[in-house]
Chain A
């Protein structure tokens, strides 16, 4: 993505090293090795879900590596006024820190941000292309109120492979996201209380009350909602297993490599981003695909690349999933300890 300048001899050196037997990369990695990925969820206290991810940070080094922070923030939207969409919507945006791309002008930076936002938006939140990914629990009151899910990502540093990092961070933030529990309320004159409709979907068990504020299921007629006090921050976002991840194949004729550094990205003619989603007990879905670079790729090779890409994506997905579960455990223990302290 970033155009680092590289001399012709450096480029030739990198390319010939990659084509050597066995292939060797500048930092000694194999072609399919990732740098170490650091991941932490729940980094932004005010967000509904957040994650910070770093690829390739040196141990004990202050900076270095590709760093992305992603956060999910929910916002209430009114469907009737036309702001929102029934069933909620997801909006993604990517911001690139000027410090990460100090060589880019502000216009070029805007373009880059826009490119990355579009990739993210079209892959995970396209309303017609990917309806299966849309979370089901973004509705507050049908046809009246819905959650707007803002997924914001910030690229703080770029040391190569920023798209993969972006998707991993986005997935981690969405995984971490909690949707607050809501309860519909409406003011009704007491005599209309006699026919409660408990059979409608989304019914909740609430104590019988004689208050004018009836909080029983009034999904059809409710005017507003309230947030009940619960011990946790809400329920997890629906379909969190399905969020796609990206794997980038850097294609140099006859070889391909994963997790390229900036210098490698600059010396490789073709890049193929493949976004896969692995829903449990369902075949993997190729959500989107992008081919960048000046070189050509034959259809046959493209098919092969997608096939191997799926395998790498599966490995990446499995590793990320187990890390996310581990993070969940860690934070639950932390939360429990804090709770115990407060008592």
Chain B
């Protein structure tokens, strides 16, 4: 029922750290040949916080950097990017940086006059305007006062939804829209959260696995794992059914599907813990491996099984 373990030892980590350090006097010599060179195209350079990137005379500092002693220094761990003379570091772990057209999964945090506030793992809450959702009774309908009064019948606090980034406000907050039949309220499943950087841009972020599980890979790191819904049922052509779109009731879900959903969630957690970028191909491969191994759903979270899983798809950072 319960098992205790010790915290992983940190001694190896500190041991390897010791070998990488140099005396400040010789540090310049050691790093001398690394300077002012590797900003060529296609070369990804990683930084650690406090690492000197280049001279501040030749370059300008951007996000994720600061200037000290006439040097541009990284303030986060990440990859160096350069646009002409502007040096920025894109952090490995950060909040989601939205771009127009991104598909995101969000959760309603607040209902305000004519708008909803949506938590989308970004620095600020996103905004979903009443005018950017599909209203019952036809897509091209003007919103009326009665709609404003019954906003909670569409979305209420805590509801999950899938939407697209439409535009930005002046303060950098994003505005969302759900004006497509693929977007809207989420049901029949559960949410997994991963670092946003692990979600790759794909042709489609709606993934169907053959085990009867649908995935929505939100670019903000929120992943919705749910029961498969047939394409025809999903897009109810003309008859836009407000009842179905804004329903809070789950469909009947059989036990096998529930188990598959839980398994997919655990696979995603394991892959995220090993920092493997998620794509539909990777997930499919990992799922097949997990089913072949005939592990129980719970065992997937074990350290050893997790490492085997990552090794089996030939990805990930090995210790």
In angstroms, how far is the closest chain B Cβ from the Cβ of A2?
14
A7 at the interface (CB under 8 A from B): yes
Q: Scoring B residues 1 to 35 as 1 if CB is less than 8 Å from chain A, else 0, what string do you get?
A: 11111111000000000000000000000000000
A177 at the interface (CB under 8 A from B): no
A7 adjacent to B249 (CB under 8 Å): no
B273 adjacent to A9 (CB under 8 Å): no
A99 at the interface (CB under 8 A from B): no
B191 adjacent to A10 (CB under 8 Å): yes
A17 to B227, CA, bound (A): 13
In chain B, positions 154-174 with a C-beta closer than 8 Å to chain A are 157-160
B213 at the interface (CB under 8 A from A): no
A36 to B303, CA, bound (A): 11
Number of A-B contacts (CB under 8 A): 129
B228 at the interface (CB under 8 A from A): no
- Complex interface: chain B residues within 8 A of A338 (CB): none
B301 adjacent to A58 (CB under 8 Å): yes
Q: Scoring B residues 186 to 218 as 1 if CB is less than 8 Å from chain A, else 0, what string do you get?
A: 111111000000000000000000000000000
A30 adjacent to B269 (CB under 8 Å): no
Given A13-B190, A26-B190, are A39 and B6 neighbors across the interface (CB < 8 Å)? yes
Q: How large is the interface on B (under 10, 10 to 19, 20 to 34, 35 or more residues)?
A: 35 or more
- Complex interface: chain A residues within 8 A of B273 (CB): 58-61
A10 to B107, CA, bound (A): 12
In chain A, positions 32-58 with a C-beta closer than 8 Å to chain B are 32-34, 36-40, 52, 54, 58
A60 adjacent to B274 (CB under 8 Å): yes
Interface core residue of B2, B8, B109 (most chain A CB under 10 Å): B2
B266 adjacent to A28 (CB under 8 Å): yes
B265 adjacent to A34 (CB under 8 Å): no
- Complex interface: chain B residues within 8 A of A6 (CB): 158
A225 at the interface (CB under 8 A from B): no
- Complex interface: chain B residues within 8 A of A323 (CB): 4
A312 adjacent to B1 (CB under 8 Å): yes
Q: Would you call the interface of chain B mostly helix, strand, loop, or mixed? A: mixed
B266 adjacent to A7 (CB under 8 Å): no
B146 at the interface (CB under 8 A from A): no
Given A7-B186, A9-B249, A24-B259, are A34 and B2 neighbors across the interface (CB < 8 Å)? yes
B306 at the interface (CB under 8 A from A): yes
- Complex interface: chain B residues within 8 A of A194 (CB): none
A201 to B164, CA, bound (A): 78
B253 at the interface (CB under 8 A from A): yes
- Complex interface: chain B residues within 8 A of A327 (CB): 6
The residue that A319 contacts in the complex, of B3, B189, B258, with Cβ under 8 A, is B3
- Complex interface: chain B residues within 8 A of A36 (CB): 3-5
A12 to B160, CA, bound (A): 13
B122 at the interface (CB under 8 A from A): no
In angstroms, how far is the closest chain A Cβ from the Cβ of B173?
18
A5 adjacent to B258 (CB under 8 Å): no
Interface residues of B (CB under 8 A from A): 1-8, 107, 109, 157-160, 185-191, 247-250, 253, 255, 258-259, 262-263, 265-266, 269-270, 272-274, 296-298, 300-303, 306
7 A-B pairs closest in CB distance = A28-B297, A59-B303, A5-B158, A323-B4, A8-B248, A34-B2, A28-B298
Interface residues of A (CB under 8 A from B): 5-10, 12-14, 16-17, 20-22, 24-30, 32-34, 36-40, 52, 54, 58-61, 258, 263, 312, 315-316, 319-320, 322-323, 327, 330
Given A10-B190, A27-B298, A37-B4, 10 other A-B contacts at CB below 8 A? A5-B158, A7-B158, A9-B185, A13-B189, A24-B259, A28-B262, A28-B298, A33-B1, A34-B2, A327-B6
